[in-house]
Chains A and B, each alone.
Chain A
């Protein structure tokens, strides 16, 4: 009976205890990493947010039109807070991955490693999106001003097209970087862009024959002197 008790009940309990004891340092390490990560994330997020406020990051974003874009997207938080919170969550996620790694369990380790390997792609995609956003704003404003100064009636349409064109390109590049449906993105982008160009060409050819003819005549036949142009001397 004693033997049975030892073999059937105490032995597994002893094994469980041994296993728990062997995991305990790992659990402790995980807790420390989690707590440390939590503190670091909070401190770093708080510090960066304050620093950005001091150096006038919100004003800069306002000038660049970021605040207006965020409001349009329903985000009412100011950019400094947004960056601070992003850093908090990034550090927390990294700390959690490290904490899971501390358990030293092979499936979790594999998951953590693949997650870590994906981080550079995520960062690159975010940078591409951000750069695309700024570039599209800059280019669309320059295009709008140039088109208005040239007296082109569809100035806004041209500017909007340039903005969405650049943002779509940035989006496609970001998705490719993330490895999400790479072929579909490339093909989809090619088809859409080709379609737009073809549609534009057909529309111009069908609907604006006279305009095209006039444009070519002016280009090939030299600029015509007409009463439409004044001889005002500005300087």
Chain B
């Protein structure tokens, strides 16, 4: 295996040589997170001291050029372990604070973390976002212990979220990943993950670091690549996820383009893996599921419907090219007259997603255009979901998501039939040592 392919700064290289090796590595990608990163560093430090006291551990902060106090806070945060009833901290937590090279984004930050994990020969790794407010020391145990003690390679997070929180996850990433690869990973783009050192090395060897994966696409890519490589996958219940509010006017189309683009690109890459997969199976869940209060979310339904309707008229020529003719006809036929009435039922949404994947595969137009043109359709589907779940509890809304997943699975032959036969060689065999995934356990 080659090393040094990912560029690291000279001080980072020196620090790695100084540390030598580590059993556990926790990575925190950051960019201007001075408000929250201190809390995250404390939670990680306490979590490691409390749950893995005898293990040699390293905390890596991979920063994208923060202009605030982020780096200084990571360096100077100290923890009084006695407040946490930890009197015997057997191993010192080493810290590496490093900038990353490459395309600005979370993916490039992760790449640097993977490279450090490889050079330190870490056995188990975890990554957590720097903007988390709800992280607790138990998260570290839940993300690392399945790898350290149960032989898993990949730990996905399982959060309790508001029914309108994570709409790309609920309407696209989760149902599509589940239908394609047959694994019910509820939060495939969660943000916090645990993974083995072997899997980190496998990630590094993939040639994706100059693509969309280097930005928002990294989360779905890590999950899919873990499944495709034959890694043993599980989930850990982390409770509620509360993070710093993001700008609500942030470019949704860019976000959607990167997640959807990564999903579709992975479909092309792993066609041999998913085309024969029928149904799905639960993925083991660790931790103690419990109810938590979630922050309320205000939804501007009228705005979403207005975007959707504008798309229906203005983007008609593009949608006609992307979607099958009966899909487009259904979309037009189902529209009500009220300014807030919007109906994109499950079956139609599944058809839209599958049609878009096929159009992406056939390159019927520049892929950026295709993916960005789907934003109003996604907003229409989200508005439709909001209308359908108004007044429902989170559990009842979850049943709606489950119904959508079943629809994705049942309609998979629609996708397989229309997907062109492969022109490339079959996907490479599993690179990791495990060939099968565990079944059973609780699932969401």
Contact = CB atoms under 8 A, between A and B. Distances in A.
Interface of A: 63, 138, 141-142, 144-149, 151, 153, 155-156, 223, 227-235
Contact of B189 (A63, A149, A229, A235): A235
B299 A232 contact: yes
B437 interface: no
Contacts of A146: 253, 372
**B169, B189, B304, B373 pick with most chain A CB within 10 angstroms:** B373
Given A138-B366, A148-B376, A227-B300, A233 B310 contact: no
Contact of A232 (B297, B311, B314): B297
A235 B256 CA distance: 9
Contact of A229 (B165, B169, B248, B365): B248
A223 to B, nearest CB: 7
B337 to A, nearest CB: 19
Contact of B216 (A144, A231, A235): A235
Contacts of A147: 314
B365 A63 contact: yes
A148 B259 contact: no
A229 B300 contact: yes
24 contacts: A141-B369, A144-B314, A145-B315, A148-B315, A148-B375, A149-B253, A149-B372, A151-B303, A153-B310, A155-B310, A227-B300, A229-B249, A229-B300, A230-B299, A230-B303, A231-B245, A231-B297, A232-B165, A233-B297, A234-B167, A235-B166, A235-B169, A235-B216, A235-B259
Contact of B364 (A63, A141, A233): A63
Contacts of A235: 166, 168-169, 189, 191, 216, 255, 259
Contacts of A232: 164-165, 167, 248, 297, 299, 382
B280 interface: no
B410 interface: no
Interface of B: 164-169, 189, 191, 216, 245-246, 248-249, 252-253, 255-256, 259, 297-300, 303-304, 306-307, 310-311, 314-315, 318, 363-366, 368-369, 372-373, 375-376, 382
A213 B368 CA distance: 34
Given A151-B307, A230-B248, 14 more contacts: A145-B372, A145-B373, A146-B253, A149-B253, A149-B372, A149-B375, A155-B310, A155-B314, A227-B298, A229-B248, A230-B297, A230-B299, A231-B297, A235-B166
A162 to B, nearest CB: 14
A156 B314 contact: yes
B307 A230 contact: no
Contacts of B375: 148-149
A234 B253 contact: no
A16 B315 CA distance: 74
Given A141-B369, A145-B369, A149-B375, A234 B314 contact: no
Contacts of B303: 151, 228-230
Nearest to B300: A230
Contacts of B310: 148, 151, 153, 155
Contacts of A231: 245, 248, 297-298
Contacts of A227: 298, 300
Contacts of A142: 368-369
B246 A233 contact: yes
Contacts of A228: 300, 303
Q: Which of A147, A228, A231, A234 has the most CB of B within 10 A?
A: A234
B385 to A, nearest CB: 11
